[in-house]
Amino acid sequence: MTHLVLDQVSIHYDGQPAPAVERVSIDIAKDDFVVLVGRSGCGKTSLLNVAAGLVEPVRGRATIGGRPITAPGSDRAVVFQNDALFPWLTARENVAFALRLRGVRAAERARTADNLLALVKLDRAGDKRIWELSGGMRQRVGLARALGAEPQFLLLDEPLGALDALTRERMQTTLLDLWTASQVGVLMVTHGIEEALVLATHIIVLAPGPGRVVRSFEAGFSRRYAAGEAIRSIKADPAFAAARGELTDAIFEGEGA
Ligand SMILES: Nc1ncnc2c1ncn2[C@@H]1O[C@H](COP(=O)(O)OP(=O)(O)O)[C@@H](O)[C@H]1O
Ligand SMILES: [Mg+2]
């Protein structure tokens, strides 16, 4: 199975007195959903950018399938919090555009785009222009477009951060559904403690100054959802509340709070 691996990665931006990230290792298999959490400035976005091939580590290695990551590639798709879609195009056209870049024939693009929109539960919005869609629907189009590249890994930087609480909760199950249906490995950054627990198979807690791993958890709740259990029943499990307490402590440990 293909793995995306950051091995002992250190990041030091030009002109900065200290490294932003020191010796962080992350291993994502193609059926993993790895979530990075931690306070602002602990290097989450920087690490995602290394995986994307946008930032080069000063020490350590980033590889995909054993090959060094040196640039962005179609094997990895990135979705940011406020991702740019083409507002004057329809949802279908936005997704089809990504398919065109991949060389999919014109005749197939619309059908494939509709399948991808169905995967993110936007079956009936294909003809809507982006400016007509809500924030949550736009993020769904962004995800469908990212999947259009048929990536092996999805790299998500707080993709649900700008959404209201209810939309955000619905998007969490959408993310889990497409993770199971499309068999991509996911590396996602979030500020949400509950969100991390709902989505992750592994949670990595980072602390700043310099960015480093302070805890690494296995989390089984998303696999339970994938196996058919309802989100509500998972969240009602006392084990979920216990994990939330443990994760909160890990994030704020050493803060003296
Ligand atoms: N392009 C950059 N140039 C210089 N410093 C940066 C750059 N990007 C991030 N940093 C610094 O690196 C540290 C980690 O930032 P970042 O990866 O954005 O953390 P997070 O996403 O966890 O908030 C911060 O101190 C930030 O100011
Ligand atoms: Mg960030």
Mean pLDDT of 156-169: 88
Q: Where are the alpha helices (DSSP H) in 90-156?
A: 91-101, 106-119, 135-148
Least confident of 32-36, 61-65, 116-120, 235-239: 116-120
pLDDT of residue 107: 87
- Span 48-58, pLDDT tens digits: 999 999 999 99
Mean pLDDT of 105-123: 91
* 43 in contact with ligand 1, CB cutoff 6 A: yes
Q: In Å, how far are 24, 61, 193, 203, 254 from 248, measured between CA atoms?
A: 21, 30, 7, 12, 12
- Ligand 1 centroid from CA 121, angstroms: 34
Give the Cα separation of 226 and 182 in Å (integer): 12
pLDDT at 21 > cutoff 70: yes
Single pTM value for the model: 0.93
* 45 in contact with ligand 1, CB cutoff 6 A: yes
Mean pLDDT of 165-193: 92
* 10 in contact with ligand 1, CB cutoff 6 A: no
Quote the mean pLDDT of the chain: 93
pLDDT at 257 > cutoff 80: no
Mean pLDDT of 153-164: 90
- Span 67-93, pLDDT tens digits: 999 999 989 999 887 778 898 999 999
For ligand 1, atom 16, the nearest C-alpha belongs to 43
Least confident of 16-25, 73-82, 192-201, 219-228: 73-82
Q: Are the CB atoms for 187 and 49 separated by under 8 Å?
A: no
**Contacts with 249 (C-beta within 8 Å, 6 or more apart), sequence order:** none
- Which atom in ligand 1 lies closest to the alpha carbon of residue 49? 17
- Ligand 2 centroid from CA 97, angstroms: 27
For ligand 1, atom 6, the nearest C-alpha belongs to 13
Ligand located closest to 38 CA: 1
